[in-house]
């Protein structure tokens, strides 16, 4: 059975955008360094499968993420002028310098909704992160480069526990006010639930941030990712981050199963009759191909089911 039975829900959006993060967010968590030739082919296969946007890599210092030390080499092998956007993550102005030199036209920054994670991941306070990102966003926008903002720990933090909704909204709105065009709300450790999703979207709306500027980034640590997608759909959100084959893990939660698998999201959307433009069979083949190169099976349930 290659496709689910389609039972549309007229109350949900007719189309969504899948923001593929496997080559960056997925591969940066792998213990082994994947050859640049494999990464380039991976990106090409994802584009061929119909993913409308593929985040290619991160211009982070190799000391911190050695898996992505080949970012400049990889970008040279990609068609940045092609029809599929290939954004990269930049942590600071030095990363932006490298991205601009490489000819990148879309970047992302990565902020935190909690003090603990900001200090551990960004090596600065929550307040200081905005000062760090302000020149990055300003310079990027002046150069005609689009900026997306990720906000991590929006549903829970391993050191601080539950994160107040208002705290998340304040942090997210400040990133948008810097000049980011979209905010990706991250459930970094996968503890979010459907009601929590709705409460966050409502709170952003009350603060003047419409759903057209929001994206959702779910992890499936507790098996809630697709339930959370449904809750976000019911609240009008139409952009979802996902990682081909479920690549990527969370180093801050025991037994975390990583990012929502793109295949699982596609199957789910297909069943609802929601258009996304992705060829599921081609995507499954791509994730199977990458799993072979990583030497382990894909954690995606749909990849497992359709490859068996």
Q: 189: helix, coil or strand?
A: coil
Give the chain's length: 308
Which portions of the chain are predicted below pLDDT 70?
Answer: 1, 249-257, 308
The whole-angstrom separation of Cα 13 and Cα 308 is: 32
Q: Given the residues 109, 185, 225, 250, select the one marked as catalytic.
A: 250
The two tokens of residue 60 are: 């982070």
User: Is 250 among the residues known to form the active site?
Assistant: yes
Specify the 3-state DSSP secondary structure of 190. coil
The whole-number pLDDT of residue 255 equals 42
pLDDT of residue 250: 52
| pLDDT score, position 264 | 98
pLDDT at 31: 81
**pLDDT for residue 100:** 97
Give the chain's domains with CATH numbers.
17-307 (3.20.20.70)
Distance CA(247)–CA(282), nearest Å, equals 17
51-71 confidence digits (pLDDT tens): 999 999 999 988 888 899 999
* Residue 217: per-residue pLDDT: 98
Spatial strand order in the sheet of 57-58 = 53-54, 17-20, 239-242, 214-217, 182-186, 146-152, 106-112, 88-89, 57-58
């Amino acid at each position: 059975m290659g496709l689910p039975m389609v039972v549309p829900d007229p109350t949900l959006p007719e189309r969504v955008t899948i923001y593929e993060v496997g080559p960056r967010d997925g591969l940066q968590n792998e213990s082994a360094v994947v050859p640049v030739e494999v990464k380039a082919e991976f990106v090409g296969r994802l584009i061929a499968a119909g993913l409308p946007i593929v985040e290619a890599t991160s211009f982070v210092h190799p000391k911190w993420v050695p898996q992505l030390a080949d970012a400049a080499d990889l970008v040279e092998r990609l068609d940045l002028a092609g029809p599929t956007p290939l954004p990269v993550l930049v942590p600071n102005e030095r990363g932006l310098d490298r991205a601009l030199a490489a000819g990148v036209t879309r970047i992302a920054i990565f902020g935190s909704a909690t003090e603990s994670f900001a200090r551990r991941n960004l090596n600065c306070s929550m307040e200081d992160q905005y000062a760090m990102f302000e020149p990055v966003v300003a310079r990027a926008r002046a150069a005609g480069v689009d900026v997306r903002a990720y906000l991590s720990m929006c549903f829970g933090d391993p050191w601080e526990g539950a994160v107040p909704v208002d705290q998340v909204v304040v942090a997210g709105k400040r990133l948008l006010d810097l000049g980011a065009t979209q905010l990706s709300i991250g459930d970094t450790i996968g503890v979010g639930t459907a009601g929590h999703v709705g409460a966050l979207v409502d709170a952003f709306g009350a603060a003047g941030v419409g759903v057209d500027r929001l994206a959702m980034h779910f992890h499936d640590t507790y098996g809630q990712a697709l339930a959370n997608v449904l809750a976000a759909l019911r609240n009008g959100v139409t952009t979802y981050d996902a990682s081909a084959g479920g690549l990527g893990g969370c180093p801050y939660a025991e037994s975390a199963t990583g990012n929502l698998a793109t295949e699982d999201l596609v199957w789910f959307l297909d069943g609802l009759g929601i258009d996304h433009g992705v060829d599921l069979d081609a995507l499954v083949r791509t994730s199977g191909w990458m799993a072979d190169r990583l030497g382990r099976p894909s954690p995606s349930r749909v990849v497992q089911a359709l490859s068996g």
